[in-house]
Amino acid sequence: MLHPTWFRGRRVTVMGLGTLGGGLGVARWLLRHGARLTVTDLRDRHALAGSVEALEKEYARRRRGRKGIVYKPRYVLGRHEPADFSGADMVVRNPAVPREHELLRLARRRKIAVETDISLFFRLCPFPITAVTGTKGKSTTTALLGAMVRRHDSRTVIGGNIRISPFDHLDGLLAAAGQDVPPPVVLELSSWQLEGLVPHRLSPHIGVLTNIMEDHLNRYRDLDDYARAKATIVAYQRRQDIGVFNADDARVRKIAAQGRGRRKPAGRRFWFGSRVRSGDGCYLDRGHIVIRDRGVRRRVMPVSGLPLPGSHNVSNVLAACAAAHHLGIPIPTMRAAIRSFRGVPDRLEILRRHRGVLYVNDTTATMPEACVAALRAYGTGRKRRIILIAGGADKELRFDDWSGEVGRTVKHLILFRGSATPKMEEALERAGVSVPTYSAGSMSEAVREARRHAERGDVVLLSPACASFGLFRNEFDRGDRFRAAVRRPR
């Protein structure tokens, strides 16, 4: 097991500081533990101002505290220098950096360890880890599962792709090593983060796989390559570990049976799904969520009592209950957490109801299927009442199903200019869908157009079905701008 003292005086290059917390979290931890830190990013200091400032504050705090040797971080921004990779003791790549990047290959040729923040956390964390992945639903499932577990144990650590670095809590976990009852650790992991676990043949103690859909095909060779990355969540589990699988998803069932390539998962399988099946799991049964395990059937609550809209959120609740069951969470605690849960920001987030119009922020819907789920959640009546704001950067995905759902539920379509937008327009034309469409060059313009056409009873829905690159820094910046525009007076 890797020990924090290894990093004292070691030259560590962090490739990709980023703005969402992952690179910053591991960089701060490395600085605290005495690493000679080089931070390199293709973005310049202005674009990374918030992250650089936070890291500098950490350095100043450590200097004032005089707690051991602390080295001033070195920044190489707007470019990468090969010497920072060939001369390092370790490289920590941001998961957004492709694993096959030429500078990472250079480091590997020199026998230099290449890690990610998540692979380091797995190697350093002294306690069992529960992790959630999937194309969609992983953030909501992680947040709900975390709320259940935290109600039961206030020491619970929640982090990962949910925009909370687990390194913010690692020192506390290390200090708690040896406790009779381990603090629960719950992480959301993306396919990019899971890639870093493969060289070490690591999977979490409890791995939850919500679904597999087409996504990130601009990064992976094909859907099978993407699914292999997701399968890492269970691929290296041992007999005492548990895989929680979506029984309604054919690709997930295949992973449960076959694992990653030829490696069949060794842990116990526990299912969740919309109907009762033969194996143990968490299912819908006559309008109720039930957990069946080794012949014992327990009722959690009626589906009618769930606070989140959409069938996809029912699936998320089932997944969270299945994992919570194996973490020993009592059913009354699960039920209380579900009833008080209000969702996750940027995922079907209700911003306001103004003059009878509902405004919903679903900016993390970066693929067509996610947008379809949002349209189905709000397009339930006979009359088309949705004003959809969509469009953006292409991820090599298909829009056929999306176009059909737009035709059924959308009264007015606003598309951001971007590389995916022509594909969306072509898909609508092929499907014979005729819906008034407007091209917007900014969020404020899109919201103004939406307000022009919104009537009492309508829903203005930001659910882009695309990546955000181009007009916005990332999907969260896109959501923040929508939030600000909606709350701005006319």
C-alpha 412/C-alpha 389 separation (Å) is 9
8: tokens are 């004292």
Amino acid, res. 238: R
Q: How many angstroms separate the CA atoms of 399 and 412, rounded?
A: 17
Q: Are residues 110 and 201 in the same domain?
A: no
444 with 387, same domain: the answer is yes
Asked whether residue 479 falls in the same domain as residue 397, the answer is yes
Q: How far apart are CA 314 and CA 310, in angstroms?
A: 7
CB atoms within 10 A of CB 457: 11
Closest listed residue to residue 315, CA positions, set 72, 132, 174, 51: 132
Domain boundary at 69, 87, 115, which?
115
Give me the domain span that covers residue 91: 4-115
440 is written with which tokens?
Answer: 């917007």
The per-residue pLDDT string of the chain (490 residues; one tens digit each, 9 = 90 and over) reads: 799 999 999 999 999 998 877 899 999 999 999 999 999 999 999 999 999 999 999 999 998 876 778 999 999 999 999 999 999 999 999 998 999 999 999 999 999 999 999 999 999 999 999 999 999 999 999 999 999 999 999 999 999 998 899 999 999 999 999 888 999 999 999 999 999 999 999 999 999 999 999 888 888 889 999 999 999 999 999 999 999 999 999 999 999 998 665 566 788 999 999 998 888 999 999 999 999 999 999 999 999 999 998 999 999 999 999 999 999 999 999 999 999 999 999 999 999 999 999 999 999 999 999 999 999 999 987 789 999 999 999 989 999 999 999 999 999 999 999 999 999 999 999 999 999 999 999 999 999 999 999 999 999 999 999 998 889 989 999 999 999 999 998 7
Q: Are residues 195 and 101 in the same domain?
A: no
CATH for 86 = 3.40.50.720
**Could you give the CA distance from residue 33 to residue 277 in angstroms, rounded to a whole number?**
50
**pLDDT of amino acid 263:** 60
Do 123 and 265 share a structural domain? yes
CATH of the domain at 127: 3.40.1190.10
Which of 115, 148, 180 finishes a domain? 115
Structural domain count, the chain: 3
Q: 388 and 263: one domain? A: no
* 310 and 419 fall within a common domain: no
Q: How far apart are CA 457 and CA 232, in angstroms?
A: 44
Write down which residue in 83, 115, 147 finishes a domain: 115
Instruction: Give bridge partners of residue 184 from the DSSP assignment.
Output: none
Whether 147 and 227 share a structural domain: yes
Same domain, 176 and 314: yes
From the CA atom positions of the chain, what is the Rg in Å? Answer: 23
Identify the pLDDT of residue 179.
87
The domain that contains 482 carries what CATH number?
3.90.190.20
Query: Which pLDDT score, from 0 to 100, does residue 470 have?
Result: 85
Between CA 314 and CA 306 the distance in angstroms is 8
Residues 173 and 65 in one domain: no
Q: Centre a 10 Å sphere on the Cβ of residue 401 and count the other Cβ atoms it contains.
A: 14
Same domain, 129 and 245: yes
Both 221 and 323 in a single domain? yes
